[in-house]
């Protein structure tokens, strides 16, 4: 390692430490990294010039001497994520920690035409203006459109769920006055990535998005398992009921047709919130449907668990309505199917609608990567 590389490595380590601790003293940095105070000061100065950190008062040390506190600046860059659904557009802005600093949603019915694209672009621009930040701080806007994505991530190959075939986020991007990226990754993958970012302790799990259409992702060893042909986690199209109901994928009896929000609401013609309101109020028809639904969901989870035996993380639109009792019942029903097995890994709720944050995260991680490459050498997802 030559001198320049050494300096860069030191700087990267210092930034990583400040970032992880949010606020830390110069003395502690020197101690943890085992480098001299002058070296720390030099790194700190460089990072200050890049606006990545700032001095923030003092820490009292035990010997009575004060040590300069260094704080990570989380507000120097932000990223916007856009999640385009059939009837709704979700927007979020993330800071450098990937925390949501602002979010909003609006009902806009998806259409594959110019006026739709211009309308969504206006909505994004208005959102950005309300953040009151200067344009240079915006790392970019990422847009995700529901549907399966081509392997190069450039366009939608199957948007059957909302007739988005051939639609490109670029159609919206061209109306935006700031950097934009058509992050056309699978929506579940994006939400699962955000869940991983927020919960780095997750090791192995099934990430299940209970949305109008079901989504699944497999997490193995803290990483998204994408599969050899990029199609792992398609639990939605596992066969749950042979010769059962028809699915939009063309097959019969898919998990999708029994465990998605659309399946739950079939015949009720009401919003999910209303369904749960009536269910909790004790309505008999709703109670029966819910029990039936839980039966199907437990069957899907059982099929997964006999093979994988991992945690099950529930997310998506339904997640916020689920109670501890629901989760217990689901576990009970799943266990009933397990026969001789008496224990299963937990089923729990994690996040809600984290597709838009997952899109924005792409920019945050790419920015951070430049200043602390060692931290992000593994998650290939962000490449």
CB 253, min distance to Zn ion, A: 8
**302/332 Cα distance (integer angstroms):** 11
Would you count residue 237 as binding Zn ion (CB under 5 A)? yes
Applying CB under 5 A, which part among 32-40, 67-75, 250-258, 368-376 lies near Zn ion?
250-258
- Among 35, 238, 247, 201, smallest CA distance to 13 is for 35
DSSP letter assigned to residue 17: H
Would you count residue 254 as binding Zn ion (CB under 5 A)? yes
C-beta separation of 149 from 186 below 8 A: yes
CB 188, min distance to Zn ion, A: 14
Output 89 or 254, the one with its CB closest to Zn ion: 254
Would you count residue 259 as binding Zn ion (CB under 5 A)? no
Strands 311-315 and 347-349: parallel
CB 263, min distance to Zn ion, A: 11
Output 193 or 211, the one with its CB closest to Zn ion: 211
Output 13 or 188, the one with its CB closest to Zn ion: 188
Output 58 or 246, the one with its CB closest to Zn ion: 246
Output 124 or 162, the one with its CB closest to Zn ion: 162
Work out the end-to-end distance of the chain between its first and last CA atoms, rounded to an integer number of angstroms: 26
Output 231 or 309, the one with its CB closest to Zn ion: 231
Would you count residue 240 as binding Zn ion (CB under 5 A)? no
DSSP letter assigned to residue 99: -
Applying CB under 5 A, which part among 128-136, 229-237, 285-293, 305-313 lies near Zn ion?
229-237
| Cβ atoms within 10 Å, residue 332 | 11
Applying CB under 5 A, which part among 15-23, 177-185, 252-260, 322-330 lies near Zn ion?
252-260
Would you count residue 141 as binding Zn ion (CB under 5 A)? no
Strands 311-315 and 88-94: unpaired
Would you count residue 148 as binding Zn ion (CB under 5 A)? no
> By CB neighbour count within 10 A (0-12 exposed, 13-18 middle, 19+ buried), where does 84 fall?
buried
Using CB under 5 A as the binding criterion, the count of chain residues that bind Zn ion stands at 6
Q: 303 is written with which tokens? A: 């099929």
Would you count residue 247 as binding Zn ion (CB under 5 A)? yes
> By CB neighbour count within 10 A (0-12 exposed, 13-18 middle, 19+ buried), where does 216 fall?
buried
Residues composing the chain = 383
User: At 337, is the secondary structure helix, strand, or coil?
Assistant: helix
Among 68, 133, 249, 308, binds Zn ion (CB under 5 A): 249
**Residues of the shown chain interacting with Zn ion in the complex, contacts defined by CB under 5 A:** 237, 247, 249, 251, 254, 256
């Amino acid at each position: 390692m030559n001198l320049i590389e050494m300096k860069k490595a030191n700087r990267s380590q210092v930034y990583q430490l400040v970032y992880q601790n949010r606020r830390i003293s110069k003395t502690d940095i020197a101690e943890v990294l085992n480098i001299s105070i002058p070296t720390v000061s030099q790194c700190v100065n460089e990072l200050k010039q890049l606006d990545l950190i700032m001095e923030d008062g003092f820490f009292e040390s035990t010997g009575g001497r004060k040590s300069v506190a260094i704080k990570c600046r989380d507000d120097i860059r932000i990223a916007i994520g856009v999640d385009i659904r059939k009837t709704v557009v979700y927007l979020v802005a993330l800071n450098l920690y990937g925390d949501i600093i602002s979010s909003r949603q609006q009902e806009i019915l998806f259409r594959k035409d110019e006026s739709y694209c211009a309308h969504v672009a206006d909505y994004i621009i208005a959102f950005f203006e309300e953040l009151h930040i200067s344009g240079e701080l915006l790392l970019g806007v990422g847009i995700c459109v529901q549907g399966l994505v081509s392997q190069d991530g450039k366009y939608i190959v199957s948007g059957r769920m909302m007739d988005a075939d051939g639609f490109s986020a670029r159609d919206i991007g061209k109306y935006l006055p700031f950097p934009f990226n058509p992050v056309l990754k699978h929506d579940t993958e994006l939400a699962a990535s955000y869940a991983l970012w927020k919960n780095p302790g997750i090791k192995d799990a099934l990430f299940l998005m209970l949305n109008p259409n079901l989504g699944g992702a497999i997490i193995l060893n803290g990483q998204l398992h994408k599969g050899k042909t990029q199609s792992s986690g398609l639990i939605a199209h596992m066969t749950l009921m042979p010769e059962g109901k028809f699915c939009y994928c063309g097959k019969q009896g898919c998990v999708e047709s029994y465990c998605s929000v659309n399946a739950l609401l079939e015949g009720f013609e009401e919003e999910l919130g209303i369904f749960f309101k009536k269910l909790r109020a004790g309505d008999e028809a709703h109670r029966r449907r819910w029990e039936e639904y839980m039966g199907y969901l437990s069957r899907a989870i059982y099929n997964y668990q006999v093979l994988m035996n991992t945690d099950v993380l529930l997310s998506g639109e339904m997640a916020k309505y689920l109670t501890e009792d629901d989760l217990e019942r689901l576990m009970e029903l799943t266990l009933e199917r397990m026969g001789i097995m008496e224990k299963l890994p937990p089923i729990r709720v994690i996040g809600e609608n984290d597709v838009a944050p997952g899109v924005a995260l792409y920019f945050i991680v790419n920015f951070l990567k430049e200043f602390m490459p060692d931290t992000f050498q593994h998650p290939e997802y962000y490449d």
